[in-house]
Amino acid sequence: MTHWASLVVFAILVPALIILWGLPDRTADAWAWWIVPDASAIFLGAGYGAGAYFFLRTFLGRQWHPSAAGVLGAAFFAGLMLIATLIHWDKFNHGDAPLVGALVFYGWVGVYIVSPFVVMGLWCLNRRTDSGQPAPSEPIVPQRARLVGVGALAAAAVFLLSPQTMIDAWGWRLTPLTARVIGCLTAQVAVGALWLSVDRRWSAWRLIVQTYFVATALLLVGAARARGTTSTAGAR
Amino acid sequence: MTWLYLGGLLAGDVALAVLYRSMSRQERLRDGAV
């Protein structure tokens, strides 16, 4: 079940990557809300791109535990995104958009109503299958490497609980909704990292580390592309 | 703040790259490839 669910999530995330990261100036017509400036769309698109990589590898993988931390992080991400959607409901297009934008809106609502519970349910079901014990002679992650995530949790808390603080300090124009979306992505990293902080197995870390590399690569390339595109007209 | 955030991401990249290299080397040693 997790196998095929991962493929479904991958299939959902790829169009999000294409629209947000690849065509960030088209969100007025092709996304659930108009995201301005491009940098904010690229930021979210980078997160979805890394998620697509993670869920494709989870689909292709044969063991559960390499994906456990990422699936837990995704469940928290989806739950926080549902809350952000409800808080900022008036910022969405409500289907009043060209076909793609309307489809994305209805897809967004459906995905974030269902996915927090389904993904968390999959994590709970699969957790029982993992003994948590390292295989013989498996590399063990050193203690000092387990601190990743504490800083991310603190940053996520500020984004989510006091978005105006980040809006005032950020390098490009954020809105309360885009600030909270960045907070959701940051919280996802924090939750995954904190879960890994109690797992010594390198096999539990490897895919998550690779996914982090994909996310930061997309983010940095995207940030370079977005330089100078700081228009704020119509920002939501 | 943006630069602090992006700097934190990059610092994480470097730390994780070092970890990845170290763990991969241990795996190769275990498998007798080194």
Indicate the average pLDDT of chain A: 92
Q: Do A171 and B1 touch (CB under 8 A)?
A: yes
pLDDT band at A144 (very low <50, low <70, confident <90, very high): low
The structure's pTM equals: 0.92
Question: Residues A1-29: what's their mean pLDDT?
Answer: 95
* CA separation for the pair A104, A33 (Å, rounded): 9
Whether A216 contacts B27, CB under 8 Å: no
Condensed to tens digits (0 to 9), the pLDDT of residues B1-34 reads: 788 888 888 988 998 999 999 999 998 988 886 5
Residues from chain B contacting residue A155 (CB–CB below 8 Å): 5, 8
| Chosen from B16, B21, B22 to mutate, greatest number of chain A CBs within 10 A | B16
Residues from chain A contacting residue B15 (CB–CB below 8 Å): 145, 148
Whether A218 contacts A48, CB under 8 Å: no
CB neighbour burial string for A68-101, b if at least 16 within 10 angstroms, e if fewer: bbbbbbbbbbbbbbbebbeebeebbbeeebeeeb
* Residues in B lying within 8 Å of A, measured between beta carbons: 1-3, 5-6, 8-10, 12-13, 15-17, 19-20, 23, 26-27, 30
Condensed to tens digits (0 to 9), the pLDDT of residues A82-130 reads: 999 999 999 999 999 999 999 999 999 999 999 999 999 999 999 999 9
* CA separation for the pair B15, B17 (Å, rounded): 5
pLDDT band at A3 (very low <50, low <70, confident <90, very high): confident
Phi and psi at residue A201, to the nearest 5°: -80, 130
Chains A, B: CB contacts within 8 A come to 52
| Chosen from A165, A203, A206 to mutate, greatest number of chain B CBs within 10 A | A206
Question: Residues A68-87: what's their mean pLDDT?
Answer: 97
